[in-house]
Structure 1
Amino acid sequence: METSKKNTPIGTLYVGGIPYEIAKMKRGILLYDFQVILKFLQAKGQERFGNNFQILPDDHRILYALVNYFIQDEASCKKLDLNIKKGILLTGPVGSGKTALMSLMRDLVPHRKSYEIIPARNLVFAFSHLAHKVIEDYGNGGFYCFDDLGVEPMGRYYGRDCNVMGEILISRYELFKKYHKPTHITTNLNAQELEERYGSRVRSRMREMFNLLSFSAQATDKRK
């Protein structure tokens, strides 16, 4: 899995030169060790975000689901009511660690095609300069995780308003239906708030496109 290390065993990832054997090959099948994965993610998180980064026991439920989804363990995902063909819609309070976890999931499966994490507000700002090219570029291709959906302003181009992210999601729904390309999202909004922000048409499509994973409303604010 770690191509930069010579003779690295399959299932071993490195952080700062320290190996983490997150999976072992048995009878041609990679068997993952969730406890080792937690240690790897903790170390990788501190390397990327600083020594204050912590994976808390309350995070383990969400992480277990995310890990099984991203390693594409179909049997475990079925038990967790996750569809491996859909994307992830990760919701939770401000500071619960949504963006950090979605970033770390890319490190867990470096052998798979990665996704780019893009703040939703950046696309709205780009819309004011590039108009519908932004919707075409991000709605019709690529692999993305749209971060902080729902806090972005309304887009405006030459005096005309546009719900930029709503339009992008509708386009990506077509991408999902035709080509099975998933999209991922992080948001602070709940289902009702998403519908109020983007309308029932977008919300209906989101139900088809995403697996919903939610932090508790009482999740610790890790930014404090």
Structure 2
Amino acid sequence: MNYTQTFKPKNVIELIYKYGNDIVPGFYLNDIDVKVYDRVYRYFFKDQYFESLQPSYRLNKGLLVLGNVGVGKSVMLQVFYDVLKHYNRLYSNIPKLKYFSSELDKATEHFQSFEIYKANDLSGLYSKSGYEIIEQHTVKSYMRQNGINNKDYPLSICYDDLGAEEQYSSHYGCKVNVLKEILLKRYDLFMAKNMRTIITTNLSSEQIQSYYGERVLSRLREMVNVVKYPGFDRRK
């Protein structure tokens, strides 16, 4: 099987519109959207051209999508989540790939999947379950094989709408800035295990520093590729 044939841009564009319309009826991409989607597409599908777009861009890093409220950041990440899930289903249903991990690795080396969590939800989950939530997103954030974490395969996770959550959450009197703890620990795991983190936010660099501290801002600069999504609130 020629794996690269599956990843023709035309196929991906068709899927972007398919899943985009599932999320937002009447979904369309204007000229600004196309430029942003093209950049993010090249990232998720591991196109080496992505690294030529900015001196700091690297495919082994995560992704930080910055933009105003309502420009379409969350929709875009959900669309790419669905597109990549489509390809995962495609390969997992091929018997040869399903049972031979080396073949599956060869097929999936062309793209990187991820999970999505609302930043606001994590604050609430910490209040209920405590530090276990932070561990699930850091030291336990690996693909599972035969019921155990495979530390050769760290999970890429998207934290959607960073900054919308309560700054501090409390579990039995222990107050924690949950996303700050997660991002700092995922930075360590990025350095050690190449664990990628994806973020969408309306916050500026100054606001990120105010919410999470200078250490988080400094580490984000090292662990993510920054993509700016121009535009104004489409919901108005």
Give the TM-score band, short-chain normalised. 0.7 to 0.9
Matches within 5 A, 1:1-224: 10-11=5-6, 23=8, 32-33=9-10, 37-46=12-21, 48-74=22-48, 76-81=49-54, 82-109=57-84, 110-111=87-88, 112=108, 114-140=113-139, 141=141, 142-153=155-166, 154-216=168-230, 219-224=231-236
Query: After TM superposition, which residue ranges in structure 1, 4 or more long, deviate above 3 angstroms?
Result: 36-40
* Distance in 2 of aligned mates of 1:130 and 1:107: 29
**CA 1:62–1:50 in 2, change beyond 3 Å: closer, same or farther?**
closer
Deviation string, structure 1 residues 189-218 (Cα, Å, up to 9, x no partner): 0111101110001111111110000112xx
- What's the offset of the Cα at 1:91? 1.1
* Distance in 2 of aligned mates of 1:149 and 1:50: 22
Deviation string, structure 1 residues 95-135 (Cα, Å, up to 9, x no partner): 11111111222344424452111001111101111111111
* Distance in 1 of aligned mates of 2:38 and 2:137: 29
**Higher RCO (C-alpha under 8 Å, 6+ residues apart):** 2
Q: Any idea what SS the aligned residue of 1:192 has?
A: helix
Q: Any idea what SS the aligned residue of 1:185 has?
A: strand
What do you get for the CA RMSD once the two structures are aligned? 2.1
Q: Kindly indicate which of the two structures has a greater share of residues assigned to helix.
A: 2
- What's the offset of the Cα at 1:42? 2.0
* Count of aligned residue pairs for this structure pair: 194
Whether the 8 Å contact between 2:69 and 2:232 is mirrored in structure 1 is no
- What's the offset of the Cα at 1:160? 3.1
* Distance in 2 of aligned mates of 1:128 and 1:146: 18
- What's the offset of the Cα at 1:176? 0.4
- What's the offset of the Cα at 1:67? 0.9
- What's the offset of the Cα at 1:39? 4.3
Q: Any idea what SS the aligned residue of 2:213 has?
A: helix
Q: Any idea what SS the aligned residue of 1:139 has?
A: coil
Structure 1 length-normalised TM: 0.79
- What's the offset of the Cα at 1:61? 1.6
Residue 28 (structure 1) aligns with: none
* Distance in 2 of aligned mates of 1:54 and 1:221: 15
Amino acid at match of 2:221: R
* Distance in 2 of aligned mates of 1:107 and 1:101: 10
- Seq. identity, %: 32
Deviation string, structure 1 residues 22-46 (Cα, Å, up to 9, x no partner): 61xxxxxxxx45xx64444123211
Structure 2 length-normalised TM: 0.76
Gaps of 5+ in 1: 2-8, 12-21, 24-31
* Distance in 1 of aligned mates of 2:58 and 2:5: 26
* Distance in 1 of aligned mates of 2:233 and 2:18: 20
